[in-house]
Structure 1
């Protein structure tokens, strides 16, 4: 067996084999090992469906690539992967479901995924066995279908071998050790003895520059060997196969085409043809997680007992939708483990804290994702970045606060929600509350409705404290939900009086030491601030795209406080630390600390914010303490508000006069009460994240994960003023070499009366897609919808007329100047 390779891939399912194929195609020397047989995990009992429908831009691209790639495998390898291109029909029983399909249509259009809308009559005309009188319509992907999971895996394996890869079966990984330049992986040859897989005395050490784990149901064991945490835990998924349906058999004998994969999302199941019968795959309530602490050694290609009572409602709804199936008996059943994550997206990318260790775990739709994951992960590994932004799939989106119990509860919830409406404003309830600021209970008592970001509870809006019994705070909609009117009033308060926002979830790091200044100067693209000042800057990837956005506060010569997005704490920390370790020999000692949980943050903003703080500040000259002269815009000062010491930063994400108040988290309740009391007579309102999101778009403030990401440079994001080309910084040459492929713009939209864009919609010019929105919402300043997004450079000029695709209609949109609200920043700089 080979013991020295460029890359070792651990796991022999469809995902691991897809990665092996694409790394080999990129020219790397690859060894893939599997502890049992190829496809022995979840791959063998997967139904092989290829669902293109996904609200994630990255995942949609992955699925799209897979479908096209699988169609090419037979010509390359001579192996038929069993791809049935029968189409994929998603049916809707409700108007809300059709709204979901219309929103997805925009995501699909931006990703180039072909689709059609069908009426109930059109469905009935094409497939008369399907009952349609209670349907509103359907979304149809005619180029989609299903594939044989084992066959496509073997085809990819053959293709990988043809490209020079080696694949070894019956090899179990026992330990990983990083030497500083390579991984040494200890493995044992396994043997099949009496149906059991047992270790032999044959042991090896494999030396690999890179390792990829794609271990499926064994992800918890892998995490323990690596000393990391992962939320990838399997959940039971069962499906049944019926005996032949005489009506279906007659339909096909008459020369009719195969039915598409049928999905009745409101009934929570999929159905497809199988040898004259039907396969029913439900996503029912109460499916349990399994193997939370590891897969038993005795479990191989095994299944769990079927629980028909648990899927009775879904079975009866299949009979309702396909009446001819009522008299058909059951032929076979499957109930096996399928790995999940809390948000349903896989974990793809670098492992936290480790070098050259790559994860590809947590695939609930592994067959659909296998080809695309291999393609884009190979780009990450061999080129430094993928052509699409993979941050939304990064394993570090879950931090060390996550526990096994949390993952179990969230994965069970995720499974149950596969077919439940995926509102962009949905907030799922399992495992909550978990991470809370000290004033959580006080906010809740004042009507706060919470969302979750990185486990933190944060107010997204404040509803009525004494709401009527029929008022549903949790009502979700693809249009303007129950929360909308409250967000409007909150946004108006910041523009007219003042608002208080809880921003405690912000990520916060300190960077200190003799090498801190030289390192940060190289690490970020803007000039570093002077002591007592702040700046906005970006850390770039080696490919020149945006890796992280930072507000940097300079407390001393080599003493910095970095603030970044709350959703990305471990993602930011890992990159910051790894880069600092790499550059320490050049720049000197660098000490980095994550202080996120030590400091709470309140953001106060609005014309009256200075008056409110003036009542609380303790200063020798309180009347001038907050003036432009003593506390200018983009500066930081240590002040005292009553008994609370505060690191105050004069900046506001809403574009109004304001301050961020960073305070010891143990004093948060005291500061909260002070601010509420002082703010009452100045018209201050409590404000949630949704109003803040609208307001930042009126100022064209880019948000990481939306406008900012690893698929665009800061120059493409139109952030030239934050890029200092007179200094050297990581990614500078690559950024300049990339040029301007597209440009970030702000648009005002004359849209429908009851709907705002969500930031997923296509931008059109003369009926042709020319870009996409990355953010969207409502502007209280302009009384219309607003959005931000990317278009080709020639269309980025102010005044360009575009269209935004919403609810299947095209609405007028116009490119406006950056910061359409207060473009001269007069309100932010106002003195007093």
Structure 2
């Protein structure tokens, strides 16, 4: 066996073999794959092999689309039939809300170029008469997918990998990882059969690998312990049953092609044809997590006992939907572990805190995703970036606060929610509240309805204070939900009076030391601020795209306070710390530390914000303490509000006069009480994140994870004012080489009366799709829908009229000037 390789892939399921194949295809000629048992012996062997396109994630849709297209090419390359049956996929809807969901999903599919068709109940019945359609609203049909044999496609990818020079070794288990500073030393042990079990032998060796990829599936918790990190990938039981042949289906097949895969999302199941019978796969309630700490050595290609009582409801609903199945007996059953993550998306990308260690874990739809996961991870490893933004799948989207208990319970919830309506305003309840700021209870008592950001509870909006809680805050909608009017009132309060927003979830770092200035000047693309001032800037990827957005406050000559998005603390921290480590020898000593949980943040914004703060500031001259002369826009000062020392920043994400009040977290309740009491005189309104999101779009403020990401440069985001081309910075040459492939714009939209865009809709110029929205909402300033997104550069001109796809119709939209509300920033700069 080789003992030195360029890349070592650990895990021989569909995901691992795909990664090995794609690394070789990308040009790495020294790749090895290790499997502790036999290829496909994990979850791959008992997977049902479905290939569902349906996913609300832009990145994941691209991954699934690539897989489906790639699998169709494998036989020509390898001579092995991957067992792909292109029978189509019919996703049915029993309600108008479900059809609304499909119409929202279809906008994502549309922007990714995924083909689909709409079908009425009559069309379904005419084409597939075995389906009961009387209670259906309609369906969305994908004609290009179907199902595949998991073992066959894995073996085809393995053969393709071998043909490209990949070495595949079976019956070797990884027992240790050691980073040498330039490569990994991986201790592996030969596994042998003993009494039907697979056990370690005395034979060990060490493999030196420049890069390691873990695709260990159900064994992810063991992998996490060996690496000394946390991986929130824990399996959940998934069972499916296979029926005896259905005479009605057998008769249908005499004159018809295979039946399409059926999905009745409202009934929480999929069904596909199998040798004249049916496979039923339910996503029922109360499916338990398994292997929370380890997989027993005795568990190999094994299954759990079937729990038919748990899936009785889904089984009966299959009989309702396919009446001919009622008299058919059960032929076989499967109940095996399928790995999940708290949000249902895989963990694909660099491991937190480690060099050249890559994770490909937590694939709940592993067969669907395997091909694309291999392709885009190989792009990350070989090219430095993929052509799509992979941040939403990055393993560092979960921080070190995550525990085994949290992952297990959230993964059970993710399993149960596979077919529950995926509202864009959805807030899932499991494991909440967990991370709370001190003012949480006060906010809750005042009607706050919370969402979560990186595990933190953050007010989304403030609802009515009914003692019996009769207002249904869980009444979600794909249109304007019950919360919509509350968010409108909050947004108006910011524009007309004064509002208070809790932004404590912001990520915060201190960077200081003799090398801090030179480092940050290289690390970010804008010029650094002077002491006491702030700037907005971006750290770029090696490919020149946007990796992180920072607000930088210069506290002293060599001390900086960096504020970035609250959802990305571990993601930003890992990138920053690794960059500092790389450059410390060049720039001198640099110290950096995460202070996110040490500082709370309240944002006070609106025309009356200065008056409110003047009433509580402790200063020799409170009337001028917040004036433009003493406290200009885009500056920072230490002030005292009541008994609280505050690092105040004159900036407002809402685009109004305002300040961010960064305060010691242990003093938060005192500051909250002080501001809310003083605010009574000025009509202070408590404001949540949803209103703030609308307001920032009126100012064309880009948001990381929406307009800003690793698939566009700051120049493509149309932010040249924050890019100093006179200096050298990380990713500059690559940014300039990319040019302007597309451009970020703001649009005002004449949409339906009961709905606003969510930020994933397709944009059209006539019949030509020319871009997509990345954000959406409602504008109180203009009284209509608003959105931000990317279009081809020739169209990125104010006044350009386009169409936006919402609820399966095209609506008028017009590109506006940047910052359509107060483009000259007069309200932000106003003195007093």
Match for residue 220 of structure 2?
219
Match for residue 533 of structure 2?
533
**Rounded Cα–Cα distance in structure 2 between residues aligned with 1:257 and 1:321:** 20
Match for residue 719 of structure 1?
719
- Post-superposition Cα deviations, 1:730-767, rounded to whole Å, max 9, x if no partner, equal 00000000000000000000000000000010000112
Instruction: Report the CA distance between 1:424 and its aligned residue.
Output: 0.4
Match for residue 358 of structure 2?
358
Match for residue 184 of structure 1?
185
Match for residue 749 of structure 1?
749
**Rounded Cα–Cα distance in structure 2 between residues aligned with 1:474 and 1:43:** 36
Structure 1 moving runs of 4+ over 6 Å: none
**Rounded Cα–Cα distance in structure 1 between residues aligned with 2:101 and 2:161:** 39
Match for residue 243 of structure 1?
244
* 1:361-760 to 2 correspondences below 5 Å: 361-466=361-466, 470-760=470-760
After superposition, the CA RMSD in angstroms is: 0.6
- Post-superposition Cα deviations, 1:443-491, rounded to whole Å, max 9, x if no partner, equal 0000000000100000000000127754201110000000000000000
Match for residue 112 of structure 1?
113
**Rounded Cα–Cα distance in structure 2 between residues aligned with 1:251 and 1:27:** 48
Instruction: Report the CA distance between 1:155 and its aligned residue.
Output: 0.0
Instruction: Report the CA distance between 1:192 and its aligned residue.
Output: 1.5
**Rounded Cα–Cα distance in structure 2 between residues aligned with 1:749 and 1:26:** 43
Instruction: Report the CA distance between 1:555 and its aligned residue.
Output: 0.3
Match for residue 280 of structure 1?
280
Match for residue 53 of structure 1?
54
Match for residue 64 of structure 1?
65
Partner of 1:229, secondary structure, is coil
Match for residue 232 of structure 1?
233
**Rounded Cα–Cα distance in structure 2 between residues aligned with 1:435 and 1:469:** 23
**Rounded Cα–Cα distance in structure 2 between residues aligned with 1:642 and 1:243:** 75
Match for residue 2 of structure 1?
2
Q: What is the total number of aligned residue pairs between the two structures?
A: 831
Partner of 2:218, secondary structure, is helix
* 1:294-313 to 2 correspondences below 5 Å: 294-313=294-313
**Rounded Cα–Cα distance in structure 2 between residues aligned with 1:34 and 1:192:** 14
**Rounded Cα–Cα distance in structure 2 between residues aligned with 1:277 and 1:542:** 52
Instruction: Report the CA distance between 1:362 and its aligned residue.
Output: 0.2
Instruction: Report the CA distance between 1:193 and its aligned residue.
Output: 2.1
**Rounded Cα–Cα distance in structure 1 between residues aligned with 2:58 and 2:600:** 33
Match for residue 126 of structure 1?
127
* 1:137-176 to 2 correspondences below 5 Å: 137-176=138-177
**Rounded Cα–Cα distance in structure 2 between residues aligned with 1:214 and 1:519:** 35
- Post-superposition Cα deviations, 1:417-452, rounded to whole Å, max 9, x if no partner, equal 000000000000000000000010000000000000
**Rounded Cα–Cα distance in structure 1 between residues aligned with 2:470 and 2:823:** 43
**Rounded Cα–Cα distance in structure 2 between residues aligned with 1:228 and 1:475:** 38
**Rounded Cα–Cα distance in structure 1 between residues aligned with 2:136 and 2:665:** 52
**Rounded Cα–Cα distance in structure 2 between residues aligned with 1:475 and 1:434:** 23
Instruction: Report the CA distance between 1:258 and its aligned residue.
Output: 1.1
Partner of 1:755, secondary structure, is coil
Partner of 1:582, secondary structure, is helix
Instruction: Report the CA distance between 1:82 and its aligned residue.
Output: 0.6
Q: Is there any run of 5+ residues in structure 1 with no aligned partner, and where?
A: none
**Rounded Cα–Cα distance in structure 1 between residues aligned with 2:759 and 2:134:** 34
Match for residue 211 of structure 2?
210
**Rounded Cα–Cα distance in structure 2 between residues aligned with 1:295 and 1:511:** 42
Partner of 1:99, secondary structure, is helix
- TM superposition score normalised by structure 1: 1.00
**Rounded Cα–Cα distance in structure 1 between residues aligned with 2:27 and 2:477:** 48
* 1:258-269 to 2 correspondences below 5 Å: 258-269=258-269
**Rounded Cα–Cα distance in structure 1 between residues aligned with 2:252 and 2:697:** 54
Instruction: Report the CA distance between 1:153 and its aligned residue.
Output: 0.1
**Rounded Cα–Cα distance in structure 1 between residues aligned with 2:644 and 2:788:** 38
Instruction: Report the CA distance between 1:264 and its aligned residue.
Output: 0.1
Partner of 2:212, secondary structure, is strand
Partner of 2:147, secondary structure, is coil
- Post-superposition Cα deviations, 1:200-219, rounded to whole Å, max 9, x if no partner, equal 22211101000000000000
Change (3 A) 1:470 1:673: closer
User: Which segment is superposed worse, 520-529 or 468-477?
Assistant: 468-477
**Rounded Cα–Cα distance in structure 2 between residues aligned with 1:809 and 1:451:** 30
Instruction: Report the CA distance between 1:194 and its aligned residue.
Output: 2.6
Change (3 A) 1:489 1:725: same
**Rounded Cα–Cα distance in structure 1 between residues aligned with 2:171 and 2:478:** 49
Match for residue 13 of structure 2?
13
**Rounded Cα–Cα distance in structure 2 between residues aligned with 1:10 and 1:26:** 18
**Rounded Cα–Cα distance in structure 2 between residues aligned with 1:463 and 1:752:** 24
**Rounded Cα–Cα distance in structure 2 between residues aligned with 1:728 and 1:162:** 43
Q: Is there any run of 5+ residues in structure 2 with no aligned partner, and where?
A: none
Query: Is the CA contact (8 Å cut-off) linking 2:464 and 2:471 kept in structure 1?
Result: no
Match for residue 80 of structure 2?
79
- Post-superposition Cα deviations, 1:678-699, rounded to whole Å, max 9, x if no partner, equal 1111111000000000000000
**Rounded Cα–Cα distance in structure 1 between residues aligned with 2:413 and 2:440:** 24
Query: Is the CA contact (8 Å cut-off) linking 2:644 and 2:663 kept in structure 1?
Result: yes
Partner of 1:100, secondary structure, is helix
- Post-superposition Cα deviations, 1:629-682, rounded to whole Å, max 9, x if no partner, equal 000000000000010000000000000000000000000000001100111111
Query: Is the CA contact (8 Å cut-off) linking 2:699 and 2:819 kept in structure 1?
Result: yes
**Rounded Cα–Cα distance in structure 1 between residues aligned with 2:185 and 2:66:** 33
**Rounded Cα–Cα distance in structure 2 between residues aligned with 1:181 and 1:287:** 43
**Rounded Cα–Cα distance in structure 2 between residues aligned with 1:487 and 1:467:** 21
**Rounded Cα–Cα distance in structure 2 between residues aligned with 1:390 and 1:671:** 39
**Rounded Cα–Cα distance in structure 1 between residues aligned with 2:138 and 2:630:** 63
Query: Is the CA contact (8 Å cut-off) linking 2:319 and 2:325 kept in structure 1?
Result: yes
Match for residue 201 of structure 1?
202
**Rounded Cα–Cα distance in structure 2 between residues aligned with 1:661 and 1:788:** 28
User: Which segment is superposed worse, 678-687 or 42-51?
Assistant: 678-687
**Rounded Cα–Cα distance in structure 2 between residues aligned with 1:248 and 1:810:** 40
Match for residue 821 of structure 1?
821
Partner of 1:681, secondary structure, is helix
Query: Is the CA contact (8 Å cut-off) linking 2:10 and 2:16 kept in structure 1?
Result: yes
Instruction: Report the CA distance between 1:622 and its aligned residue.
Output: 0.9
**Rounded Cα–Cα distance in structure 1 between residues aligned with 2:492 and 2:828:** 16
- Post-superposition Cα deviations, 1:285-343, rounded to whole Å, max 9, x if no partner, equal 00000000111111100000000000000000000000000000000000000000000
* 1:311-350 to 2 correspondences below 5 Å: 311-350=311-350
Query: Is the CA contact (8 Å cut-off) linking 2:490 and 2:691 kept in structure 1?
Result: yes
- Post-superposition Cα deviations, 1:251-281, rounded to whole Å, max 9, x if no partner, equal 112x211111000000000000000000000
